[in-house]
Chain A
Amino acid sequence: MAEEVQILVTCDKDVVTARQQGRATALAAGFSNSEATLVATAISELARNIVSYANRGTVTVARLNGHKGAAGLKIVASDAGPGIADVAQALRDGYSSSGGLGLGLPGVRRLMDDFDIASVPGSGTTVTVTKWLK
């Protein structure tokens, strides 16, 4: 039901690969060019966090041909970095370098339909986001 591609992310070049994969999968799933661009943007934001806080991690892109006709795309960004002590705070606008601009995790949440984050201080963070075809 899902075709997955996993990309190891350690540097900017890998982020480019992850974006490319996300965009190609979005277009194949039937998203428009501008929606595919927002998917690439979400991947950039997630991958940027991996590179700057955990040094390495993975981005997995999966096309969902779900039951009952629900189709879309799922991105899982996972790392074994320091984790986030206060997840609620990380999701608030104004946290970290993005200031009050709503970039970073809050931005990703708004670009996608479903957003899920699991983080354990000292053992890593996994962000799972889904965008549904409407």
Chain B
Amino acid sequence: MGATRPMPRTSLQRHYCAALSAYLMNPGEGARMRAYEIGRDALAAGQSIPDVVEVHSLALQELSTTTDTRAGMQAVIASAGTFLTEVLSPFEMTHRGYRDSLTAWRHINETLEEEIRRIAYALHDESGQLLVSVHLQLARLARTVPAAESGVRTCQALLDQAERQLRDLSHELRPMVLDDLGWLPAIEFLATAVAARAKVPVDVRSSVTRRLPAAVEIALYRVVQEALTNATRHARASRILVEIGAEHGCLQCVVGDDGVGFAVDAAALQGLGLKSMRERLGALGGALQVVSAPGCGAQIRFELPLD
């Protein structure tokens, strides 16, 4: 991508060709080590595996002219394969590193989600219970001290408000319907709440109804939640549609609106919470795309592997 390349392709090409030629002549450990060094340098210089394979292929074409027998050609092809394995072996270290990071990333997400769930339940159940007790005590107080009645009523109204806020907060953190009934009822519930709050109809259509792996359900819910927040906050839409389907072992979801749209440029993409959506999806091997233009509404499209 934007990495600096202290070893440009032409230089890599030249080194590669010389080293492969030396290896074909004398396939010893020294020549293999050179192959490994070339791979390591190419990796450090930001070259990709396809870059290296292309360089390999060009070098092989160049060197294949040195033999004109079929047996000679077969020997060259076999040796060149071994050479390429050596060149690519440093990439294996990087590859395994990324795999480890992905596992760690997933684990962090799960831990975070578990923590959020714990807080949501504590807010809903424990604090909720406490408020109920306060209500009862206040009612008793009002009975025994009639003079305090109007003050008590004010307290009760405030308590009701606090209760509502707790319930909303708890639901926002972790909708219990997600655990109890699954992702689709949770998203439908969310759509109803968003529609009521923003006074915009939000339709949910899904050809998938079965329960999904827990991590997928949470990611799906969160990304739809974020996308709906964007649509109601910025789009001035008259209608929002959430469509969910599955194809090729992938869950596909589109959150679209018929609002004002925007030019899809770097600046617009920064402010839309896309980073957190992408991170959430990326941890599960998913991807996200934004489709919009001024005056043409906007669509957030994403997919998640289902395996």
* A→B interface (CB under 8 Å): 12-13, 15-17, 19-20, 23, 33-34, 37-38, 40-41, 44-45, 93, 97-99, 101-103, 106-108, 110-111
For A44, give its contact among B36, B82, B101 (CB under 8 Å). Answer: B36
Q: Who on chain B is nearest to A39 by CB?
A: B89
**Interface residue ranges of B187-220 to A (CB < 8 Å):** none
Tell me the complex Cα distance, A54–B97, Å: 26
Which 4 pairs across A and B sit closest by C-beta, in order of nearness? A102-B97, A107-B93, A110-B96, A20-B29
Residues of A within 8 A of B33 (CB): 12, 15-16, 19, 40, 44
Q: Tell me whether A40 and B32 are in contact (CB under 8 A).
A: yes
Give residues of chain B (77-114) contacting chain A, Cβ–Cβ below 8 Å: 82, 85-86, 89-90, 92-94, 96-98, 100-101
| Residue ID in chain A nearest B40 by CB atoms | A103
Q: What A residues does B40 contact at CB under 8 A?
A: 103
* Distance, CA A56 to CA B36, complexed state (A): 21
On whether the beta carbons of A99 and B89 are closer than 8 Å, the reply is no
With A and B bound together, what is the CA distance between A4 and B44 in angstroms? 34
Given A16-B29, A41-B36, A44-B36, do A103 and B94 touch, yes or no (CB 8 Å)? yes
Does B185 lie at the interface of the complex (its beta carbon under 8 Å from any beta carbon of A)? Answer: no
Interface size on B, residues (CB 8 A): 22
In the complex, which residues of chain B have a beta carbon less than 8 angstroms from the beta carbon of A33? Answer: 82, 85
Chosen A-B contacts, 17 in total, with CB atoms closer than 8 Å, are A16-B29, A33-B85, A34-B85, A40-B86, A41-B89, A41-B90, A44-B33, A97-B44, A101-B93, A101-B94, A102-B93, A103-B40, A103-B44, A103-B93, A106-B97, A108-B93, A110-B97
Which residues of the other chain, B, contact A102 by a CB distance below 8 angstroms? 93-94, 96-98
Q: Kindly state the separation between the CA atoms of A15 and B96 in the bound complex, as whole angstroms.
A: 24
* Chain A residues near B85 (CB-CB < 8 A): 33-34, 37
Min Cβ gap A117→B in Å is: 16
Inter-chain CA distance A101–B42, complex, in Å, is: 12
Residues in A with CB closer than 8 Å to B273 are: none
Contact, CB under 8 Å: A101 / B86: no
Checking A20, A97, A99, A111 against B92 with a beta-carbon cut-off of 8 angstroms, the contacting residue is A111
Structural contact, B90 and A103, CB atoms closer than 8 A: yes
Residues of the B chain whose Cβ atoms lie less than 8 Å from the Cβ of A37: 85-86, 89
Within 8 A of A (CB), among B17-60: 28-30, 32-33, 36, 40, 43-44
> With A and B bound together, what is the CA distance between A15 and B30 in angstroms?
9
Min C-beta distance of B51 to chain A, whole Å: 15
- Cβ–Cβ contact B30 & A41, under 8 A: no
* A41 pairs with B32, CB closer than 8 A: no
CA A45 to CA B92, docked complex, whole Å: 13
